[in-house]
Amino acid sequence: MLTYDVVVVGAGNAGMSAACKLAMSGQKTLLIEQHNLPGGCATSFRRGRFEFETSLHELCDYGPASDPGDVRLLLKDYGINVKFLEVPDTFRVISTARSGREIDAAMPVGQKAFIDKMEEYVPGSRASMEDFFTLGDECNAATIYINQSNGSPDSEYMKKHFPNFLRTAAHTTNKVLDALKMPRDAQDILNTYWSYLGVDTERLTFMHYAAMVHKYVTRSAYIPELTSHGLSLAFIDRFQQLGGEVWFNTKVEKVLFENGAVSGVSTTQGDVAAKHVILNCNPHTAYATMLPKEVIPEREIRLANARTHSARAFVLYLGLNKTAEQLGLTDYSIFMPPTMDTAKAYQALSSLETNDYIISLCYNIVNPKASPEGTCMLSFTTFYSDEVWKDISPENYVNTKNQIASRMIDKFERKTGVKLRDYIEEAEVATPWTFARYINTPQGTMYGYETNEWDSMMARLMSLNTDYPIPGLKFAGAHGPRGDGYSSTYICGELIARLTLKDMAEEAK
């Protein structure tokens, strides 16, 4: 039987990252992917003369060379060299604030510019915004420290260096923003990014949200020039250079055990032996279908049952036969929630009828060469907070997709005044069915489990040594300690590989 030190199941972001780290550390590593392409969500597809980015909106933890973010450092550490482009602004938001005020705010990059602009939109917000970023600095430093501590931070060190972080981290975002005495309208604008984490700011912990906003504003967002497919191929390329082996079109059906410990995997191409397996798939899937029941501790099933599946995406991709300039498109990302009351907006995501959320992206604003000359590309994204797509029949599927897509185009045209209808050369839609097809997560979710108050990023990081206790088996992905997002999953993969290496070193003793 073919034997490896480690088998990584799933070439999603976390799987590729873990595989690279292991191969770099000299482990004989096999990466197995059920699809014919790497990346999971991190891929692209062609329609006519257009190549569409599948899922990446913007990397939040890359940063400029002068102030590198964790992902830039991670790629450098792995020896992966990919060209990134800086996103010029943070976001534009068009919606109604909790106060009833109609907001159309375009927010720049850079703390000072962001604070100035906020003061312009919401006079009197300056002091609280400055406090927010000071606190954000501390949250980021604390997160990096906790990540490096492998889940066992020293509490005295924390108290000394991150006192404000400790006071605020476990509270919800809105609660802390109120404590900062931030005017509600400013809070609403600042909270625009909440959907990237899939949980409203009444339930999302402050440190998780603040860390993300802080990075976007301070270090800018970035996208890879050749789409996330390019980034995924770069990971695979490097992994293979490091001696790693990849099998595509291969499905891992079972994780094999001998005397209660992992002994390998059973795949559609035969069995493979390995004492360590990292699953870049959802724990629900693994526990229900891939592991013998007797090896799964009861707490793991309770944990899985306690969690909420997060964010089922719907994306409309448009290839337009006019340039962004000709159409009057000037913003990279525009967030158009039905309301800026995030809890109400989250509620509205629960049904096909009430879901009126859109994030629009125009790739050409950042990358003029994203599509052929004379054209541009737009995508519209929304999420569902419940498994509403399961009730649609195959015969009604296309019509349902197109009705929602049509509604998105109408709303966009109404809110921005930009006309699109007559210029659509290519149109494609991805639904939760599409994501279920390609990444096979439960219900086609993209974000793993909701990082709500009790199951927050921090609570997960501090439970690293109690969650997933099966010897030889670890999980990495959006469901993991760092939550969802490209940056989080790359970093999660590195973290889980590090913990695996630690286990291996201990076994060797």
Show contacts with another protein in window 365-394 (CB under 8 A): 387, 389-392, 394
CB of 179 vs another protein, minimal distance in Å: 4
DSSP state of 309: B
Which of 112, 159 has the CB closer to another protein? 159
Report how far apart, in Å, the C-alpha atoms of 285 and of each of 128, 255, 270 are.
44, 12, 20
Show contacts with another protein in window 212-271 (CB under 8 A): 226-227, 229-230, 233-234, 236-237, 245, 247-250, 269
321 forms part of the interface with another protein (CB under 8 A): yes
Q: Please answer whether residues 375 and 322 qualify as being in contact, where contact means their C-beta atoms are separated by less than 8 angstroms.
A: yes
Residue 138 to residue 156: CA distance in whole angstroms: 16
- Window of 41-49, 64-72, 90-98, 331-339 that interacts with another protein by CB under 8 A: 41-49
- Window of 66-74, 98-106, 171-179, 410-418 that interacts with another protein by CB under 8 A: 171-179
Show contacts with another protein in window 44-83 (CB under 8 A): 44-49, 51
CB of 472 vs another protein, minimal distance in Å: 21
Interface residue with another protein, options 198, 442, 448, 472 (CB under 8 A): 442
Residue 60 to residue 54: CA distance in whole angstroms: 17
- Window of 215-223, 335-343, 350-358, 433-441 that interacts with another protein by CB under 8 A: 433-441
Which of 44, 500 has the CB closer to another protein? 44
Query: Residue count at the site for another protein (CB under 8 A)?
Result: 92
Q: Please answer whether residues 193 and 209 qualify as being in contact, where contact means their C-beta atoms are separated by less than 8 angstroms.
A: yes
295 forms part of the interface with another protein (CB under 8 A): no
Residue 177 to residue 186: CA distance in whole angstroms: 10
- Window of 110-118, 435-443, 469-477, 498-506 that interacts with another protein by CB under 8 A: 435-443
Query: Strand (E) positions, 369-507?
Result: 376-384, 424-430, 473-475
- Window of 182-190, 346-354, 404-412, 496-504 that interacts with another protein by CB under 8 A: 404-412
Which of 189, 464 has the CB closer to another protein? 464
Query: Strand (E) positions, 56-157?
Result: 84-86, 89-96, 102-108
397 forms part of the interface with another protein (CB under 8 A): yes
Containing 222, the helix (H) or strand (E) segment is: strand 222-224
Share of the chain residues as helix, strand and coil, in percent rounded to the nearest 5: 45, 20, 35
Q: Which of 90, 478, 104 has its CA nearest to residue 313?
A: 478
- Window of 183-191, 208-216, 300-308, 333-341 that interacts with another protein by CB under 8 A: 300-308
Joined together, the tokens standing for residue 137 give: 């600095």
Interface residue with another protein, options 208, 312, 474, 479 (CB under 8 A): 312
Interface residue with another protein, options 159, 414, 419, 502 (CB under 8 A): 159
The type of residue at 265 is V
Tokens 């990919």 appear where?
82
Joined together, the tokens standing for residue 401 give: 């997709």
